[in-house]
Structure 1
Amino acid sequence: MAFIDYYKVLGVEKKASEADIKKAYRKMARKYHPDLNPNDKEAERKFKELNEANEVLSNAENRKKYDQHGENWQQAEQYEQSRRQQQQYQGGRQQAGFSGGGDYSDFFESMFGGQSARGGGRSTQFKGQDFNAELHLDLKEVYTTHKQTLTINGKNIRLTIPAGVENGQIIKITGLGAEGTGGGPKGDLYITFTIENHTAFKRDKANLYTAVDLDVYSAILGGEITVDTFDGKVKLKVPAGTQNGTKVKLKGKGFPVYKKENQFGDLYITYEIKIPTSLSEKEKELYTELSKLRTL
């Protein structure tokens, strides 16, 4: 397989920062995502390369190995270990009186899992490469558990997305990475969730927060109002004399608790009293009368 320059794939310089790499990946991934390029084999190939490049360059340890060892970065640890063993072996040969001109076949065979010509060694197993993916969802989508199909490196994967997933949360799916070598296990798939909120509610874990406008008459006299919750409307009784900024808690009307069935956080409502700005002459007259009564 031809060597792929991951920096060129993402269109960044070798000295690019982590933020530059993440930004470049997101931009390119949106452009070549299979959902936006159906039946486009070239876009599918490009999207696969982007995922591979991001997997390597977004991980500081993997990036260091890649910069040092190029296409053989996954065997970096084995390479270094084999190199040290070869040095020790060469040193032992010299101490025992053997001349130079040693054969490096043992070194490369041990590095890539082959069998030594002199020892009949055993094939070395390497775990497959892990894959990283980002999944963008709307807050409303993670209010309930649902299934979704993702395309990872050209393969369609049907996943169950649990209700209550957090923004920035990473979940690991074992065995959905690249194939191992030498009979080693498959790598894993790591999915990072980006949850976009286009609602009037602010989320903090399983609790929700929102503000509700309250007219001055309801605040003074009390009454009943209808407010929105995340899954519908409810009626609330407003006590007479409610002050601006008053908070009320609706127990169990928040967001689902992650992986805890039928458990929900709470909804916190803050009342914002709205003062009338355009009063009729009659209203001004009545408010004047009220102000006189309050001073008696």
Structure 2
Amino acid sequence: MAESKRDYYEVLGVSKDASDADLKKAYRQVAKKYHPDVNPGDAEAEKKFKEASEAYAVLSDSEKRRQYDQFGHAAFDGGGGGGAGGFGGFDFSGADFSDIFGDIFGDIFGGGGRRGYSNQGPMKGMNIRKSIRITFEEAVFGTEKEMELNLKEECPTCHGTGAKAGTSPETCAKCGGKGQVVYTQQSFFGTVQNVQTCPDCHGTGKIVKEKCPDCHGSGFVSVKKKIKVSIPAGIDNGQSVRIRDKGEPGTNGGPRGDLLVEVVVARHPIFQRQDVHLFSTVPISFAQAALGADIKIKTVDGEVVYTVKAGTKTDTKVRLKGKGVPSLRNPKVRGDHYVTLVIQTPDKLSKEAKAALKKFDELSGNTLKSASK
């Protein structure tokens, strides 16, 4: 009954003002998750798949969506009748799932859906991800590091063919050298042709019968190489440096992938960083705060002299302009260094110091005896 149905917007997990693109994206995710081919024999998944398909069929149609927003499920009571195009009494006639189901089947079965994009052309190799540790100061000012890693290079014995000397790769019998095979998939919406990478030749169109003993048929051998990594000034923890053409080899003549080096920055005992700004805390004595004095403040550029004004209170903020971190986009532009001045209370005083402090208190308000009055 209509009363037992869930709200269509709730089924897809979208708001009532969702755009057509939002609806399509949401339905695609739900349909891929609960598709019967992904969950064979799961009645609950099939139910949720049908429920989502019904919701999308209504909400993707502007007129049906208008009726649903006005009357709810009652707008379609008795309207479908469970015909050939219907699920559970709902009519799907007029609903266009072709485009979205081409994408879904492509994702589920690993191919390109109905579009059948060819993957025999040159393809760029996979990127390699590594990490490197640097100091706080190296992140601020930049540095150059050297990494040693194993890179795949063309096998010198077979020159990348993967075949034993005196032999050559043969045309794949399964795909006829195309690198792809076409499967016919039955769905709730009819027959869908799905193009997949050939499982025998992995898209190359060639089969190596007698493998090269040095590379075991891969066409590549592992070579240790030292790579110089230039770390730019201003890089932050977790950011990466891209080194072109130092990743995995490409296929069918495609270029190599890239090497992505993630930077791990060590913590600093004094400085804390937020974007291009630095923060630190500097202790000062009561005398320095009350009378004023020159103090030394540590920065990433070294110590600087700062004049504390007489009467400075604890937690006073000081801005050292241009003493922060260089911008990655423009190294000539630097952030600021913000210093918090904190008045320290001495925990050990000599008799003379205590006497002098009592005398000072008598002259400046006699606060030590104010409670006894």
TM-score range, shorter chain: 0.5 to 0.7
2:305 matched residue in structure 1: 235
Structure 2 match to 1:151:
148
Separation in structure 2 between the aligned mates of residue 171 and residue 160 of structure 1, nearest angstrom: 8
Distance 2:138 2:241 in 1: 17
Query: CA separation in 1, counterparts of 2:269 and 2:310?
Result: 30
Shift in Å at residue 150 of structure 1? 1.7
Q: Is the 8 A contact 2:127 2:257 kept in 1?
A: yes
Structure 1 residue 125, shift from structure 2 partner: 2.5
Mapped to 2, the partners of 1:145 and 1:287 lie a distance apart of 49
Tell me, in whole angstroms, the C-alpha distance in 2 between the residues paired with 1:295 and 1:148.
61
Tell which structure's C-alpha radius of gyration is larger: 2
Q: Partners of 2:356 and 2:112 in 1: how far apart?
A: 93
1:289 to 359, 363, 371: 359
User: Could you tell me whether the CA contact under 8 Å between 1:209 and 1:269 is conserved in 2?
Assistant: yes
Q: Which runs of 5+ in 2 are unaligned?
A: 1-105, 151-223, 367-373
- Write the distance in 2 (CA, Å) between the matches of 1:293 and 1:147: 60
The question of whether the paired residues in 1 share the 8 Å contact of 2:142 and 2:235 is answered with: no
SS at match of 2:356: helix
Partner of 2:349: 279
CA 1:290/1:192 → structure 2, altered by over 3 Å: closer, same or farther? same
SS in 1 for 2:328: coil
SS at match of 2:312: coil
Partner amino acid, structure 2, of 1:137:
I
Root-mean-square deviation (CA, aligned residues, Å) is 2.7
Match of 1:81 in 2: 111
Secondary structure of the structure 1 residue equivalent to 2:138:
helix
Which residue of the other structure, out of 206, 217, 220, is the alignment partner of 2:276?
206
Are 2:251 and 1:181 aligned? yes
Q: In 2, Cα distance between the equivalents of 1:225 and 1:150?
A: 42
| Residues 110-151 of structure 1 deviation map (CA, whole Å, 9 limit, x = unaligned) | 98x7xxxxxxxxx53222121111111111222323322222
User: Following TM superposition, by how much is the alpha carbon of 1:82 offset from its aligned partner in structure 2, in angstroms?
Assistant: 7.7
- Report the alpha carbon displacement of residue 244 of structure 1 after superposing the two structures with TM: 0.8
Equivalent residues, number: 188
Change (3 A) 1:85 1:250: closer
CA distance in 2, matches of 1:147, 1:276: 45
Which deviations, in whole Å up to 9, do the C-alpha atoms of 1:34-72 show, x marking residues without a partner? xxxxxxxxxxxxxxxxxxxxxxxxxxxxxxxxxxxxxxx
Taking only the aligned residue pairs, the percentage that are identical comes to 32
Instruction: Decide whether aligned partners of structure 1 residues 83 and 235 sit closer, same or farther in structure 2, where only a CA change above 3 A counts.
Output: closer
Q: Which runs of 5+ in 1 are unaligned?
A: 1-75, 87-109, 114-122
User: Residue type matched to 1:249 in 2?
Assistant: R
Match of 2:127 in 1: 130
Please report the TM-score for the alignment, with normalisation by the length of structure 1.
0.57
CA contact (8 A) 1:131 1:178 kept: yes
Rounded Cα–Cα distance in structure 1 between residues aligned with 2:143 and 2:274: 21
Residue equivalent to 1:245: 315
- Aligned to 2:364, what secondary structure does the other structure show? helix
CA drift of 1:227 comes to: 1.6
Cα distance between partner residues in 2 of 1:181 and 1:216:
71
Distance 1:169 1:212 in 2: 30
Following the alignment from structure 1 to structure 2, what is the Cα–Cα distance between the partners of residues 224 and 155?
Answer: 53
Question: Kindly tell me: are residues 230 and 85 of structure 1, through their superposed partners in 2, closer, same or farther at Cα, counting changes over 3 Å?
Answer: closer
Higher relative contact order (CA 8 A, sep 6+): 2
* Matched position secondary structure for 1:142: helix
Write the deviation string for residues 240-260 of structure 1: whole angstroms up to 9, x where unpaired: 111111110000111222141
CA contact (8 A) 1:163 1:259 kept: no
From the superposition, tell whether residues 147 and 282 of structure 1 become closer, same or farther in structure 2 (CA, over 3 Å).
closer
Kept after mapping to 2: 8 A contact 1:256/1:263: yes
Residue identity matched to 1:197: R
**SS of structure 2 residue aligned to 1:283:** helix
1:275 maps to amino acid: T
| TM-score for both structures, normalised by structure 2 | 0.46
Matches within 5 A, 1:1-296: 80-81=110-111, 123-153=120-150, 154-295=224-365
Mapped partners of 1:257, 1:277: distance in 2: 43
Query: What is the identity, as a one-letter code, of the residue corresponding to 1:132?
Result: R
CA distance in 1: counterparts of 2:317 and 2:115, whole angstroms:
69
Q: Secondary structure at the match of 1:287?
A: helix
Alpha-carbon distance change, 128 to 287 in structure 1, aligned in 2, over 3 angstroms: same
One-letter amino acid matched to 1:274: Q
